[in-house]
Each structure stands twice: as structure tokens, then as C-alpha cells.
Structure 1
């Protein structure tokens, strides 16, 4: 009789332990999803706020009013931060990694921006995506700065191109390589962007910003 009681207590304890483990894992998953969802909502809100004035600018100056590229430099380089954005539907169509300028340092910690010739930094602002050509890194697109913060982009040879140092997918918390100011992407992502840019009847806009 004593053995049966002990066995029953043991079974009850095991059931309670298993139930507690299941409940904890459910709470943990729910919390993780909530954090992720909140982060995504904040990102989408931020992109939408920058896309709206860009759409007005595109309409006024004769640029593509359907699609643009948004580069959020406040996002760590190991995460997707170059977004293909649908200006009409207000949604993200695609996203990929993009390098930022190292400002002529061996490795730039944090973010620093510049527009002077030879600075090696990323320049914030609106860009017109120009003609494509074959350069030292293969296919590349000329970028024309449209603001005072990036007016020297063309003279600085800041272009949209790919490099083997940029991975195909996210690697955060690890960073990716840094550039001399170019929004450098992976070859796979540039192939997607090229198909879209080349098929556009009007020049597309790229907007590089930092929320901080």
C-alpha cells in the first residue's frame, strides 16, 4: 500500500513538473513574439513616416512613385536595413543587408556621416538612382545626391554595388564589412534590385536616413 502511495505521489509530481515546463515555455515564446512584433511595428511605422514625404517628392519631380529604396542606418549592419518599399501600398516588398562607410578608418565604431570629397563616410539624404555600368566590383548604379547632405555623392563615386564580403542573409549580432561610403549589398540582393531598377520607366529614389 505504501509503495502504491509513493508511486502515485511520484506520478503527480512528474505531471505537475511537466505542466509547469510547458507553461513556462509557452510564456517565453509568447513574450519573444511580442517583442519581435513590437519591433516590426516600430520599424514599419518609421519606414512609413519617411516614405510619405518621399512619395510627394517623387510626384513633384518626376521620379518613380510606385517603388523606392529606404536605407535605415540606425539598424545594425548584421540585420536587414535596405528595404524595397511600395509607396502606393505602404508596405515592404523586400529587404537585405547593406554596408555603411567606415570614414577612412580601419573599422568605424558606431555611425558617422559626411559629404566632403574623400571622407569615406555614408551620406544621408535622397538619391536618384542613375544609370548602371560595369565597374571594379561588377554591376553598379550611379547615385546622384539630391540634398545638401549628399550633394557630393557623384563626385565621391558613391554607387550602389555588390561585394562578396556582404552575406546573403542576416548575421546579427555579428557586423558585416564596411565600405568607403557606398551602400554595398550582396550579389544576390543586387540582382533583385537590378531587375526592378532597370524595368522602371522613371528613375527610382533611394533615401538613406538615421532615426537617431
Structure 2
């Protein structure tokens, strides 16, 4: 994917000028035209996201942020991460207690997502916790699984991170060929889960179900 950024010339380091010339050459533009262009108030740099230039500019300019360049990593965890306490407090401040419950049950050994079909997944961006979610045995029927403890930090919302966690967890759970249920509230959440194949249900303590095929 190619992205264009407009940067003030007085802030653009010399390596950026070099890359603009190189890009002009690749496009068979006249170097004299590019030199005149570089004297304008703003310079447009066009680069590939994996070229390393974006990361170099961010490093040099500090506060310059490039949206969408940070990779989201979702992985299974078997221990709560070092940053979990700050993560939990942020959820508590929003009125969400699921992480406090998770932490308490983990410390007491009540639930560590170790039984067949269970998994706890963590999403990070640049090694910073972005969200969490998992599956446990359903407390109403242990032959079923339940999606639980889903939370994405406010700073990382609207970036598809919740979906990435859900897909990761769901792919793990589907391999066990068991019904998967969840309980959610709010119009956004109620609209979200059907996009992953869940259907509304009237089952007690449950709003949606994913039936094994």
C-alpha cells in the first residue's frame, strides 16, 4: 500500500529529501523539477509502509504520528502480563469489572483458561497492551464454551482490534466442535457478534450462540 504524507520542509531531515529525489527518479521525473519542488513550503513524500522511511521520520520528529502503521499482534497467553494492573485499572475506571474478576480468579486458581477449548488471548501494539479476550467452559453447560473477558482500551478502539481478538479466539474454539455462547449488552456489541457468525438466542444468561457445524 502506498501512502502520501505532507511535511514542512524546515522539519524534513536530509534523508527525506534524498528519498524524494529517489522517488522522482523512479517516476522518471526531472531532478531539477524535484529540486524546485523541495523549495516549496510543503513536500509530499510517497513511500511504501515497509520501506523503513516512515519509522525513521517518526523517530526523528518525535510527535509525528502515522496512523495505521503499527502492527497488531494477537497471541495466546498463559500468564497475566506485567502491564496488567494498569490495564485493569483503566477498565475499572470505565465501570468494567471483567478484568478485576479475571485477575481475582487467576490468582485464586479458579480459572486460568487451561481446560479443553479454553484460551486467553492478548492483543498488543508496539508491545503495549491493546485488548484481551478469551473462552472458558460455559458455566451453564460444561460441554459448551463461552466467549468472556473481552475488553479493548479506549485508545485502541475503532481499529479492528476487538475483531482480531475475537477471530483468534473463535478459530481456537471452533476446533473443539462445541457450541459457543456469549452474553453482551448494548447496540454496538449486539450488532458486532452476528458479523462473526453468532445468532441471537433466548437461552438464559446468553444473548448469542455460535453453533458448531
What's the TM-score bracket when you normalise by the shorter of the two chains?
A: under 0.3
TM-score of the aligned structures, taking structure 1 as reference length:
0.27
Relative contact order (alpha carbons < 8 A, sep ≥ 6): 1 or 2 greater? 1
